[in-house]
Amino acid sequence: GPAMAAVRDVEIDPEGTFKYILVRLQRPGGGEQRDIVRGTRAAEFHNHIFEKVNPEMEKLGYECKCLGGGKIDHNSKEKKIRVFGLSTGYGKADHSVTVEILKKVYTDYEITWSDDKK
């Protein structure tokens, strides 16, 4: 639906290293679903990000499920993004999925991922 299209695939800080989560949006009762990436240095813990996203999406009529988390290192000068690490609470997101979503938005970036902790 149009509301789902209005939700941005990616909302991350323009620079730095910070926590991120991969969130699945779904219409109650099934139907359309999609995954979005959210990350910010303002979040001390991964659940802080989810606690902000969840009510926003519920207002739009979506159920949210956190598929895991990790960290993003965003270097806007070199146009590089590195996805790595995990979330203690939510487990490790599938970083390969995260990278595919990031590539939709950061089309001219070099985007890589690994299971490294740092």
pLDDT in tens, 1-46: 566 678 999 999 999 999 999 999 998 888 789 999 999 999 999 9
23-32, 66-75, 83-92: least confident range = 23-32
pLDDT of residue 2: 63
Residue-number span of the structural domain to which 80 is assigned: 10-114
Phi first, then psi: what are they for 7, rounded to 5°?
A: -80, 125
Q: What distance in Å separates the CA atoms of residue 43 and residue 25, rounded to the nearest whole number?
A: 21
Q: Note whether residue 30 is domain-resident.
A: yes
- What total number of domains does the chain contain? 1
Q: Name the active-site residue from 46, 48, 74, 95.
A: 46
CB within 8 Å of 59: residues ≥ 6 apart: none
- Collapsing DSSP states into helix, strand and coil, what is residue 110? strand
Residue 58 pLDDT > 60: yes
Q: Note whether residue 1 is domain-resident.
A: no
Token pair of 72 as six digits = 């993003």
The answer to whether residue 46 is catalytic is: yes
Determine if residue 52 is labeled as part of a ligand binding site: no
Q: What CATH number did the domain enclosing 96 receive? A: 3.50.20.20
- Collapsing DSSP states into helix, strand and coil, what is residue 117? coil
Strand partners, 105: none
Q: Are 7 and 57 in contact (CB under 8 A)?
A: yes
pLDDT of residue 1: 57
